[in-house]
Amino acid sequence: MNKIAIFLADGFEEIEGLTVVDICRRAGLEIDTVSINGRLEINGSHGIKVNADKVLADIDKDGYSMLVLPGGKVGTENLEACDELIDLIGNYYGSGKYIAAICAAPSIFAHRGFLMGKKATSHPSFEDHLVKGGAICSGNPVEIDSGIITGQGMGASIDFALAIVGIFAGEEKAARIADAICHRQNS
């Protein structure tokens, strides 16, 4: 079974992180919330405290099909300052496994050259990081290119999560969830 890890640091954008967890679990996907802080409690960017499932030191580093990074300026800075996480992301990228980031967090991929020549998106205030990293910034809510999923920000959180579901549970399942949560009517 495919298993996903989403990494949480103090200052993470709650909607971006928790929307991914919620929608993946609705789809029946296994997703672990992983604290990089060495403790389970994480403080979100808007004062919401979240208890992670695991801490980084205790996870099976090879046991996931995808690694996900939520944004939030401070959260992204904290994620990028975690050498153990950055090494793990580099290993996943190098082995062709999926990696995903939303809002400010795609800048982490850009800083490592992972987005060179690839279509990507991020929060508009972080696009310069992507451009300097060689990305082709689309300005779209979500981009998928060569195993890398990027999302624009909080407003694109549902579409970002549905893109992940589409990869691991199928586009049909993603469409059913979208219809259910957005009350869309099929025509």
Active centre residues (catalytic): 103, 123
Nearest-angstrom CA–CA distance, 112 and 89 = 10
Torsion of CA 178, 179, 182, 187, to 10 degrees: 130
Nearest-angstrom CA–CA distance, 91 and 89 = 5
| Cβ proximity of 173 and 161 under 8 Å | no
Residue ranges of E strands in 21-147: 30-35, 41-43, 49-51, 54-55, 66-69, 98-102, 119-120, 136-137, 142-145
Nearest-angstrom CA–CA distance, 142 and 164 = 10
| Cβ proximity of 14 and 44 under 8 Å | yes
| Cβ proximity of 160 and 134 under 8 Å | no
